[in-house]
């Protein structure tokens, strides 16, 4: 709705479109973006994932040789570790590739959610006003103010988090490409995607990227780690304070739990609405349940 309202207010060369027309423009832009991603962005990711799964067994001996040369290599049961790692990675890659059509079938759920969004944007005010009318007037005013505040903070959080994900994904892809890291498109995509999971998402993806870089040389792995350390400091010192300054400011653990619950309850659609729902609940609890210190 914030985007729709801006389109309606600013207009296009003096023409101020109606709300339905603004909604059509918004969803047309979203559909074009998704189509471009599926036709141009997703195929390289799937190709890199397939190559990674196929090439890994042949590269395991090289990894073992490198580990044996390390000072602590002789103290590790390298063969057992490599065998388990190979089995786990092959199983994961095979699962991802095999179930790709199943994931694509969830597009229907996403399309259904999109149509619900369109309906609520067109006629949602009537449903919202009816909901408020169920409460006495004094409580109605307070609830209306609370929900509008929650809506504003959720919108800012979503825009800010999406921007951070895009920045990390693009910068990772560019740097990994310059370092000639294998499957850099796949790794950059995963870096941006998993950035929505606080702390854990970054650790998992950078560990994967460093491991893939180590297949070629320790120098590449060091370059990947240095890039991530520099990026984390830039993000925390410069990007987050400016982009997320007025966001809902949910704790990382809350976001992680919300994503787990949303995915378990409703799959992809549940994951999409998990964090905004948690933010809404947090604002309501802050208004009605949190006991503030009067002193």
- Give the per-residue SS3 of 74-123: HHCCHHHHHHHHHHHHHHHHHHHHHCHHHHHHCHHHHHHHHHHHHHHHHH
d(CA 193, CA 291): 37
Average pLDDT on 191-217 reads 81
Q: Measured in Å, how far apart are the chain's first and last C-alpha atoms? A: 38
Please state, rounded to an integer, the average pLDDT across all residues of the chain: 77
| pLDDT value of position 126 | 85
3-state secondary structure of 247: coil
Residue-level pLDDT at 178? 92
DSSP string of 182-205, one letter each residue:
TTHHHHHHHHHHGGGSTTHHHHHH
CB 282 within 8 A of CB 248: yes
Question: Sorting pLDDT into bands at 50, 70 and 90, what band is 127?
Answer: confident
Q: Among positive and negative, which fits the CA dihedral 233, 237, 241, 243?
A: negative
Burial class from Cβ neighbours inside 10 Å (0-12, 13-18, 19+) for residue 85 reads middle
Q: Is the pLDDT of residue 168 over 80?
A: yes
For the stretch 250-273, pLDDT in tens is: 676 777 788 888 878 877 677 778
- 117 against 169, higher pLDDT: 169
Helix, coil or strand: residue 23: helix
pLDDT at 46 over 70: yes
Burial of 195 (0-12, 13-18, 19+ CB in 10 A): buried
Buried b (16+ CB within 10 A) or exposed e, 221-246: bebbeebbeebeeebeeebeeebbee
- Give bridge partners of residue 12 from the DSSP assignment: 15
Q: Among 192, 181, 189, which residue's Cα sits nearest to residue 214?
A: 181
Interval 39-53 mean pLDDT: 73
pLDDT band at residue 171 using 50, 70 and 90 as cut-offs: very high
User: pLDDT tens, 222-243?
Assistant: 999 999 999 988 887 887 777 7
Tell me the whole-structure pTM to 2 decimals. Answer: 0.65
State percent of the chain over pLDDT 90: 5
The band of 9, judged by pLDDT with boundaries at 50, 70 and 90, is confident
pLDDT for the residue numbered 230 = 92
H helices within the chain, ranges in order? 2-10, 19-36, 42-69, 78-98, 100-105, 107-133, 137-178, 184-193, 200-214, 218-234, 240-243, 252-288
């Amino acid at each position: 709705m914030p985007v729709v309202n801006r389109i309606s207010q600013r207009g296009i060369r003096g023409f101020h479109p109606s709300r339905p027309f603004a909604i059509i423009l918004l969803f047309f832009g979203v559909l074009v973006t998704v189509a471009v991603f599926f036709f141009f962005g997703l195929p390289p990711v799937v190709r890199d994932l397939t190559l990674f799964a196929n090439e890994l067994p042949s590269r395991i001996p090289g990894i073992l040789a490198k580990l044996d040369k390390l000072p602590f290599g002789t103290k590790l049961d390298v063969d057992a570790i490599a065998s388990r790692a190979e089995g786990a990675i092959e199983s994961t890659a095979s699962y991802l590739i095999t179930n790709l059509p199943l994931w694509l079938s969830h597009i229907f759920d996403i399309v259904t959610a999109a149509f619900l969004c369109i309906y609520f944007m067109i006629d949602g005010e009537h449903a919202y006003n009816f909901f408020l009318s169920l409460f006495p007037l004094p409580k109605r005013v307070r609830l209306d103010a609370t929900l509008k505040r929650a809506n504003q903070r959720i919108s800012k959080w979503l825009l800010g988090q999406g921007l951070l994900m895009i920045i990390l994904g693009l910068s990772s892809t560019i740097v990994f490409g310059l370092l000639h890291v294998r499957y850099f498109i796949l790794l950059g995509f995963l870096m941006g995607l998993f950035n929505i999971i606080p702390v854990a998402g970054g650790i998992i993806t950078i560990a994967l990227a460093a491991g893939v870089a180590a297949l070629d040389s320790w120098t590449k792995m060091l370059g990947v780690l240095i890039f991530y350390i520099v990026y984390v400091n830039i993000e925390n010192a410069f990007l987050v304070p400016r982009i997320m300054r007025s966001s809902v400011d949910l704790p990382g653990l809350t976001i992680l739990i919300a994503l787990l619950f949303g995915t378990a309850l409703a799959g992809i659609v549940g994951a999409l609405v998990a964090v905004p729902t948690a933010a809404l609940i947090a604002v309501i609890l802050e208004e009605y349940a949190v006991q503030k210190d009067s002193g």
